[in-house]
Structure 1
Amino acid sequence: MSKKLDATPEGLSPTPTESVVLPVNWQLDQIVDQLRAVRAEWRTSTGRARELGGRELPSRQAIAEVIQALSGALFPMRLGPNELRAESEDFYVGHTLDLALNSLLTQVKLELRYAARSRGEEAQDVDNQGIRIVREFASQLPALRRALDQDVIAAFNGDPAARTVDEVLLCYPGIIAVIHHRIAHHFYKANLTLLARIIAELAHSSTGIDIHPGARIGASFFIDHGTGVVIGETAIIGDRVRIYQAVTLGAKRFTVDESGLLHKGQPRHPIVEDDVVIYAGATILGRITIGQGSTIGGNVWLTRSVAAGSNITQATAQQADGAGGVTG
């Protein structure tokens, strides 16, 4: 039992009193029962009231570990383990890919089963389908490495503060986001949209750069600084494009069906052609085209297409475009 002393007048001895310590009892049985009831209610309301068995959805933690391993296999001497030596590089790459691809296969099969259940179908030939998807992804890793090399070189050439390409790869959040995106986009095209979105959101959480895995991004792409960048699902970005922090490539409006539900997947984000530069804080909305070689100034709000070679500032944008929009 703990003790405490009451305040007493000077010169008098304090009188000890006992404090009561509450018993540690979280009433877990009751809370667990209530949480089970809430889960059952939600599953019933969403048509999923059944015995789930094992894990139903891909694991964010497992996917994060796969992406970390893939990054190390792609760039072993820079993103691999610090004790790695050049003479064991190939062994490390092979061993790491074997572990990562097998773990990835588990996550792919989970989404394939989940997608089938969501459609009210029985999962058919999930094992072989998953193997084909992961095998195809593995075969694209050399091309992915070449594409990422171009992105790294574009960042080095586009930033006077960059001293080496190694600094770019190790330090730049834009490169982290692009590594995640180029992996995520592969799985988006394979209709593994949940897996792709988890990969994209891992980068979003760590960098503040939000690239939807559906966005199509060309070669030599550079995001400088990056915080607050948003690139929507149906955006198309050409080669050698450079954008800065707080740029949004968003939707101007969303169409709905007769019941008021949003139409999904319709083209609603900008097309940015080759060799475009978009400076910090620019907001570009809707299915418009930014012509090749154009420069979009800082804090511009743009909802109209611009011709190739345009130089758009706040003043020119306000003169030509008074329409507003919403991002998304």
Structure 2
Amino acid sequence: MGIDEPCSPPAPASQSAGADLTAIVAGLRLSREVTHVVRHRGHIRLLPSRAALEKIRDGLFAALFPSHYGCPDLTDDTIDYYVGHTLAQALIALREQVRRDLMFRDPADAAHDAESLSARIVREFGAQLPALRGMLAEDLQAAYQGDPAARSMAEVLLAYPGMRAIIHHRLAHALWQLGAPLVARLLASISQAETAIDIHPAAQIGRGFFVDHGIGVVIGQTAIIGDNVRLYQHVTLGAKRFTADETGALVKGEPRHPIIEDNVVIYAGATILGRITVGRDSTIGGNVWLTQSVPPGSSITQAQSRQAEA
């Protein structure tokens, strides 16, 4: 059964592999409804579908780069038709997922206008796609020029996890800004599962961004990254500490991740924590642990970072 198909239960079964289904189902209901409630606001909701979003993602990738992620035999006569048809299907499906996102967060307020609001969000998202593709072309160029192993841009598009991760992020970030945060988070999660690169959709990333190799890279929610920044594998742009309110609950959305200015290179294994600034044109060496701001033009090695922490 697909995740978006009607969930009509089959005929009751009294036994399954010798188990007492009645007792198990009753125990699960007790956990679900009483002892371990995890539902948002305590109600059953029609949630955005991860499986549906994977198909939508495929359509958006194909519309952005049709000869790479779409049909291999497109011609000048057919490519625009293909892009239009593929994009229309993807945006229609996306509108339903955005509607579910709106209804999930606040059904009382969203019930009367979820349809019109989801239509507006998707319409504005679609209008941004040409500009997003322009940014992705710059990311692609940065990857190709920044890696001597890259023999063609097609190779980067098809085989580099960093490129796939930034395509996902550009799309997810646009949806986050337009007001579809759960859909954006699911897109980011799909990307992380495929690429092992974890970028929060709220993170702000400038033009010409390149993640080389990429495995284990983590970029937190409030991180700000400038133009022409390059990261290597296992880089973390994370939080040093979390502010709690008077009840002990963590304060949400507080700026807590680094600001990386333009033209910075951060080598493998570096961990940069807290709301600090890495100045433009700096180089952060491998395995550096950095919790203090550094001025423009800095070159930080592991030994230097240890001395600063001492």
TM-score with structure 1 setting the length: 0.85
Distance 2:140 2:24 in 1: 51
- The structure 2 residue matched to 1:162, chosen from 135, 150, 175, is 150
Which residue type is aligned with residue 136 of structure 2?
L
Distance 2:206 2:123 in 1: 24
Distance 1:32 1:90 in 2: 52
Distance apart, 1:171 and its partner CA: 0.4
Distance apart, 1:26 and its partner CA: 4.3
Distance apart, 1:37 and its partner CA: 3.7
Retained in 2: the 8 A contact 1:246–1:280? yes
Q: Deviations over 1:216-274 (max 9, x none)?
A: 00000000000000000000000000010000000111110111110110100000000
Sequence identity (%): 55
Distance apart, 1:116 and its partner CA: 1.1
Match of 1:228 in 2: 216
Distance apart, 1:213 and its partner CA: 0.5
Distance 1:121 1:155, change over 3 A: same
Distance apart, 1:28 and its partner CA: 3.7
**Is structure 2 residue 34 aligned with structure 1 residue 41?**
yes
Distance 1:148 1:73 in 2: 13
Distance apart, 1:35 and its partner CA: 3.0
Distance apart, 1:320 and its partner CA: 2.0
- Highest Rg: 1 or 2? 1
Match of 1:214 in 2: 202
Distance 1:46 1:150, change over 3 A: closer
Distance 1:46 1:277 in 2: 42
- The structure 2 residue matched to 1:70, chosen from 60, 70, 88, is 60
- The structure 2 residue matched to 1:145, chosen from 133, 138, 141, is 133
Q: Deviations over 1:178-215 (max 9, x none)?
A: 00000010111123211111000101001110000010
TM-score with structure 2 setting the length: 0.90
Distance 2:109 2:29 in 1: 26
Aligned residues: 295
Retained in 2: the 8 A contact 1:43–1:49? no
- The structure 1 residue matched to 2:187, chosen from 199, 216, 227, is 199
Retained in 1: the 8 A contact 2:197–2:218? yes
Distance 1:135 1:28, change over 3 A: same
Give the secondary structure class of the aligned counterpart of 2:237: strand
Distance 1:49 1:304 in 2: 42
Give the secondary structure class of the aligned counterpart of 1:140: helix
Match of 1:296 in 2: 284
Give the secondary structure class of the aligned counterpart of 1:249: strand
Distance 1:230 1:45 in 2: 26
List gaps (5 residues or longer) in structure 1: 1-22, 323-328
- The structure 2 residue matched to 1:262, chosen from 246, 250, 256, is 250
Which residue type is aligned with residue 283 of structure 1?
T
Distance 1:207 1:158 in 2: 19
Retained in 2: the 8 A contact 1:77–1:86? no
Which residue type is aligned with residue 300 of structure 1?
V
Match of 1:4 in 2: none
List gaps (5 residues or longer) in structure 2: 1-15
Distance 1:293 1:122, change over 3 A: closer
Distance 1:143 1:64, change over 3 A: same
Distance 1:133 1:45, change over 3 A: closer
1:28-107 superposed matches below 5 A: 28-41=21-34, 48=41, 52=44, 56-107=46-97
Retained in 1: the 8 A contact 2:125–2:178? no
Match of 2:8 in 1: none
Match of 1:132 in 2: 120
Which residue type is aligned with residue 313 of structure 1?
T
Distance apart, 1:102 and its partner CA: 0.5
Distance 2:297 2:241 in 1: 27
Distance 2:72 2:38 in 1: 50
User: What is the RMSD computed on CA atoms of the aligned residues?
Assistant: 1.9
